[in-house]
Amino acid sequence: MSGTAQIGVTGLAVMGRNLARNFARNGFTVAVHNRTASKTRALVDEFGDEGAFVAAESAAEFVAALERPRRLVIMVKAGEPTDAVIEEFAPLLEEGDVIIDGGNAHFADTRRRERELRERGIHFVGVGISGGEEGALHGPSIMPGGSAESYESLGPLLERIAAKAPDGAPCVTHIGPDGAGHFVKMVHNGIEYADMQLIAEAYHLLRSVAGYSPAKIAETFRSWNTGRLDSYLIEITAEVLAHTDEATGKPFVDIVTDQAEQKGTGRWTVQIALDLGVPVSGIAEAVFARSLSGHAALREASRTLPGPTTAPLGEADAARFADQVEQALYASKIVSYTQGFHQIQAGSEEYGWDIDLGSVAAIWRAGCIIRAAFLDRIRGAFDTRPDLPSLLSDKQFAEEIGAAQDDWRAVVAAAVHQGVPTPGFAAALAYYDALRAERLPAALTQGQRDFFGAHTYRRTDREGSFHTLWGGDRSEVSTS
């Protein structure tokens, strides 16, 4: 078998199969391989008319089918399965060849693998791929890390298969060295968690406070999707809410168990944010909300706890409240993206990646789950000011969130008054208020820490670190 394939894909579950088909549909000859050979044959038998495939039953055949430098995409489960596939194929490769991990790997694993394979002369590229199985087939948002040299070889292929933004630009860019691509994909998924939680809270408020039916809320979301909230998640939310269960005739949302699952990337985002010292409270609340929903026994035991007595609003008041919820949703969404981009910025500084935040926003404009119209404005904000400390420092976003704040506060207050949990809206508002506060109660916290642990504090009127001798005369001593 001669090396005729420009790219190879091993691991032909749904994502791997669709990615291989995407490459073939875009004119590349694709070598395909799976541990179970029948999956390889099935792909070629079913989709062979879509392009040029080279089926390989063994690792040696697969590697032999690839032209130099070999580009080999691994699409298997993250963790040990990925390591096992790397160890199977790496001995068959030569200096300058490229292994690409397209799974949802933890960026720390990607950094380790890149370092180990670099010592063997092999490039390792951790690629975040967003868009699900449809995106893999029709065009995902792609976030590759790795060396600049590896992107020279791989980039033209990825640019061909990636989603195209409204201006025609491919939604892929070289994010940065080693684990940068998987780090950015992790944060993307964290923002996705927050976005979904905020949308769910908006639905809950419209149903519980405004008294809207799921069908009416679907109409509301469709209306919102024609404006500044235009996004994939708003679009599919309207579809889900409008769907009627065929078996019962009830709204689909009413026959689904209210216990949300998660695969782990949201937790990773929060864990790494804690390590970096970056506040991502909106993402954290979204992760915790899913976790709480799954504690069915705890919720059942707590169901008789007292709460407020409420009644749905009248038609005019409900319409006004819906407008306020739109304001609160938009403002909270800005905060979620602000926190996510802050985490990317902090990770870039910590690991020396030099990530271009404007380019990240640009490749999220199409293909990925959080694609939204306002990402083009986020790109513009970072392109205009690459040193922008926060999205809330951008004049236009600051003006919009300022205009929304009264309605935002009214919604959070109504939620508290009516007993509707809105941890996402409330956390976003608290973050906004904390940023704009002239003084925070952290001064008291530092005093407490110094009292019980002699942890010291800094003063506002002179340099240095100080400790108060809290017993006796409570005199102050300098510790620096």
Q: Whole-angstrom Cα distance, residue 233 to residue 243? A: 15
pLDDT digits (tens, 9 = 90+) for 282-305: 999 999 999 999 999 999 999 999
Q: Is the peptide bond before 214 cis (omega within 30 degrees of 0)?
A: no
Question: How confident is the model at residue 309, as a pLDDT?
Answer: 86
Q: How crowded is residue 137: how many other Cβ atoms within 10 Å of its Cβ?
A: 20
The angle formed by the CA atoms of residues 399, 229 and 415, to the nearest 5 degrees, is 80
Per-residue model confidence as pLDDT tens digits over 327-341: 999 999 999 999 999
Tell me the pLDDT tens digit for each residue of 256-286: 999 988 777 899 999 999 999 999 999 999 9
In angstroms, the CA 425 to CA 97 distance is 48
Whether 8 contacts 70, CB under 8 Å:
yes
- Residue-averaged pLDDT of the chain: 96
Give the residue-averaged pLDDT of 133-144: 96
Between 474 and 56, residue with greater pLDDT: 56
Q: What is the pLDDT confidence band of residue 469, given thresholds at 50, 70 and 90?
A: very high
Average pLDDT over residues 427-440: 97
- Catalytic positions are 185, 192
Q: Which pLDDT does position 146 carry in this prediction?
A: 96
What is residue 310's predicted lDDT score, i.e. its pLDDT? 83
At 2, the pLDDT band (50, 70, 90 cuts) reads low
In this structure, the strands spanning 465-468 and 457-458 are antiparallel
pLDDT score of 263: 76
- Look at residue 477 in the predicted model and tell me its pLDDT: 86
Beta bridge partners of 467: 477
pLDDT band at 474 (very low <50, low <70, confident <90, very high): confident
Above 60 in pLDDT, residue 1? Answer: no
Q: What is the pLDDT of residue 475?
A: 85
Contacts of 278 (CB under 8 A, 6+ apart): 339, 342, 343, 346
Q: Residue 234: name the closest of 189, 192, 289 by CA.
A: 192
Strand positions, DSSP E, 29-115:
30-33, 53-55, 71-74, 98-101
pLDDT at residue 90 is higher than 60: yes
With tokens 């208020």, the residue in question is: 433
Quick one: tokens of 275?
């390590």
